[in-house]
Amino acid sequence: MPNTAFVKAALLNDVPPGAPVEVTVDGKAIALYNLEGTIYATDAACTHAHVSLCDGDIEGCTIVCPLHFGSFDIKTGRAIDPPACDDLKTYETKIQGNEILIR
């Protein structure tokens, strides 16, 4: 049975707008994004080259991989630009007090 519980990923103050932040939750690297006050979470590694997307740039609602410049929709995980062709896994988030929780 999959884990359906929310777990703490970071503090809200640790994820400023405009810069992705990498955290480790249950041994997995997760990228957190603050888009106009809404927090999103995806796998942190690019599905093409497996480098950290947290070294990339946020452009609107997309994250651009720093290695080959493939991009993904932060909200849906959808691969947008080649060479990225496989979507990112996304995670449900919620804010509880000053904590960011993901499932």
Per DSSP, the three-state class of 12 is helix
Domain with 70, as residue range(s), is 7-102
pLDDT in tens, 61-77: 999 999 999 999 999 99
* End-to-end Cα spacing for the chain: 14
pLDDT in tens, 78-87: 999 999 999 9
Kindly report the CATH number assigned to the domain that includes residue 87: 2.102.10.10
Burial of residue 45 (CB within 10 Å: 0-12, 13-18, 19+) is: buried
What pLDDT does 2 receive?
Answer: 56
**Identity of the amino acid at 62:** T
Q: Which H, E and C letters describe 33-64, residue by residue?
A: EEECCEEEEEECECCCCCCEHHHCEEECCEEE
Q: Is residue 1 part of a domain?
A: no
pTM attached to this predicted model: 0.93
